[in-house]
Amino acid sequence: MAANQNSGNPKVDLAYRRKKNKEDMKFQVVTFALMIFLTVIAFVAIGYDGIAEWFKIPFILLLAVIQVIFQLYYFMHMSHKGHEVPALFLYSGIGVAFLTVLAFVTIIWW
């Protein structure tokens, strides 16, 4: 039986939805805690003088990319079935933006 089909039994369907919602909420809480932790790490990295300046910007950008991935997959539910087309458009837009920035950077620098 597929997850999107009804069993015909309201009690079974309600139990399944409650279990699924509980799992989703657990993932969202864990992801939120990880994002707060990554934000604290970013603030500490910038405020701490023992970290080299050349390391700080790539490190902050890496933390930002990780947080964007968390937000897309857990808060915007991109990991669920039925979100393939919006994901395709989103990733296509990211690809076009990356290529545009890369093109302008190479035109300016070379």
Q: How far is CA 76 from CA 8, 46, 71, in A?
A: 29, 29, 6
Asked whether 25 and 19 are in contact (CB, 8 A), the reply is no
Per-residue pLDDT tens digits for 60-96? 999 998 998 888 877 777 777 888 888 889 889 999 9
Percentage above 90 pLDDT, the chain: 34
pTM, two decimal places: 0.65
Asked whether 4 and 81 are in contact (CB, 8 A), the reply is yes
